[in-house]
Chain A
Amino acid sequence: MTDTAPGLPRLGTTLFSLSLEQRKPGRDFASLVAEVAARDLGPGLEMVAFQNLRGWPLLSDEQVREVRSVIDESGLTPSCLAINNDLGLYPDRLLSDDESYEYVAVQVRGAAALGFPVTRVGVETTPVILERLLPLADQLQVKVGVEIHAPLTIEAPPVAALKELFTRLDTPWLGFIPDMSSSMRAIPGAVDDAHRAAGIAPELTALAKGLWAEPGPTMAKFPELERRAAEAGATPAQVGNLQMLFTMHGRMAPERWADFFPHVVHVHGKFYGIEDGPDGLTDPSIDWPAVARVLVDQHYTGFISSEYEAHAYSDRYSAFDQVRAQHDMLRTLLEQQPAVAR
């Protein structure tokens, strides 16, 4: 596995990038992992436990041995296991704090059994539950990271509460997982494919993109989007699809990721498409030079998991090729950063 230079963030891939690939005939878990390794898209390997591991969260000893053996044989390094706190497991009620703790704790134990050093939960995992998980994380030496995904930003109240918790506990076992969906500079072009397939007029897509790009908090723009889209003939379902763009793509300045340090335990290299431009590989919707600068400035040496998500909008591009392009771009950017005082 090709690694970045010592002292820099390391690269890797999450199998989530391969969500469409996973559905192809003949594909299985072992073949996805093997192909990530064969294409040198490590060294880090992340996956969503509920996506890739049949039987999760209760794997038999034999299943644990099989998964470990697939990863060992690939030569990849387990970086992070994305787990879920399914608070809405039963649609008519939310899990109690005790149920939520148990639901996550079982999965943290599972991650330890599989050899993952970090787990990812969502912001629905409250500070109360995280503090309860700390002794288990410490005992198992498995970090629990809360993913900061669009529409969350540094200003969101739940994020402030987490920052306060991590500062107070001052522990390496709990922290943040920045996801670049929160800090985008444009709505991805792949959205056009999805909207065309869903019969959404290009004028409506353009309206949403234009409003999104205007200054001001995204959440405050929902009523205007709804009003103007309805005036332009959008159905309620189409308005919902347009609003989803505001939820999935955040506009926080990438420099603000610095404020999450020193409590960052893993990074999601979320992206929607790398293009070959006149100045080399570039990402129209995410400012990777700015992100690389923050990570190097903050002395981050953990993994950046490449997380290609345009598969949610379009099947036109190869996820493997896209991750390859992102790795090539990131490696160059990281290694070009001026050395910082250590």
Chain B
Amino acid sequence: MGPLDDQVVRADSLTATPDGLDIAVYSHWYRALPLPSLVRADLTVDGEQIDTSTLSVTVNGHRYAFAELAGKGDEYWFTTDPVVLHVPVGTAPGREHRVQLLLGLSIPYILTGPDRVPLVAPSRTDKTLTATGG
């Protein structure tokens, strides 16, 4: 909840590639977070729910399967950099897509409750945008 929510997926975030749709995603948290903090990316494209296990993510120039991020505690997602979600759906330059994303970031220094569980900060996006060419 706040002004950064609107910047998570931006007007120029969608790119059509031969493998599918790339979505550039920006953080709604104010500081760089370790990659395991990216705990939730519930994505729906044009009404179709995307199974997270089919997503791969490019961050700092490296491409990982979504599940691999959980082990990358020595790498950080910097404040102003996007991560790119590679989504296996059909697209083409100029095509419009409705993107609904629930991004959940685990905040590693804010521990909540008696079990000291990291806070998960959610950000919701629902935008219809046009993909550009890769």
Contacts and interface: CB of A to CB of B under 8 A. Distances in A.
5 contacts: A51-B79, A84-B109, A88-B111, A88-B118, A194-B1
B interface, size bucket: 20 to 34
A50 B108 contact: no
Interface string B13-38: 00000000000001000111110110
Closest 7 CB pairs of A and B: A88-B118, A86-B108, A88-B108, A315-B3, A51-B31, A50-B31, A50-B32
A314 B106 CA distance: 23
A217 to B, nearest CB: 18
A16 interface: yes
Contact of B3 (A50, A56, A124, A314): A314
A339 B78 CA distance: 46
Contacts of B118: 88, 91
B116 interface: yes
Interface string A52-70: 1010100000000000000
A56 B106 contact: no
Contact of B2 (A22, A84, A85, A312): A312
Given A19-B30, A51-B31, A314-B3, A124 B111 contact: yes
A56 B74 CA distance: 11
B116 A94 contact: yes
Contacts of A311: 2-3
B39 interface: yes
Interface string A82-100: 0011111111101000000
B80 interface: yes
A87 B108 contact: yes
Interface of B: 1-4, 7, 26, 30-34, 36-37, 39, 70, 73, 76, 78-80, 106-111, 116-118
Given A54-B78, A94-B111, 9 more contacts: A48-B31, A50-B33, A50-B76, A51-B31, A52-B79, A84-B109, A89-B34, A198-B1, A241-B1
B79 A89 contact: no
B102 to A, nearest CB: 11
Contacts of A244: 1
Contacts of A84: 31, 108-109
Interface in A122-140: 122, 124
B74 to A, nearest CB: 9
Contacts of B78: 54
A70 B48 CA distance: 48
A88 B117 CA distance: 8
A23 interface: yes
Contacts of B34: 86, 89
Contacts of A54: 32, 78
Contacts of A124: 109, 111
Contacts of A50: 31-33, 76, 79
B2 A88 contact: no
B109 A313 contact: no
A16 B30 CA distance: 8
Given A86-B108, A90-B73, A194 B2 contact: yes
Contacts of B79: 22, 50-52
Contacts of A48: 30-31
Given A51-B32, A91-B70, A94-B116, A20 B109 contact: no
A193 to B, nearest CB: 9
Contacts of B36: 89-91
Contacts of B111: 87-88, 94, 124
Given A48-B31, A86-B34, A91-B118, A22 B80 contact: yes
B35 to A, nearest CB: 10
B32 A23 contact: no
Interface in A1-52: 16, 19-20, 22-23, 48, 50-52
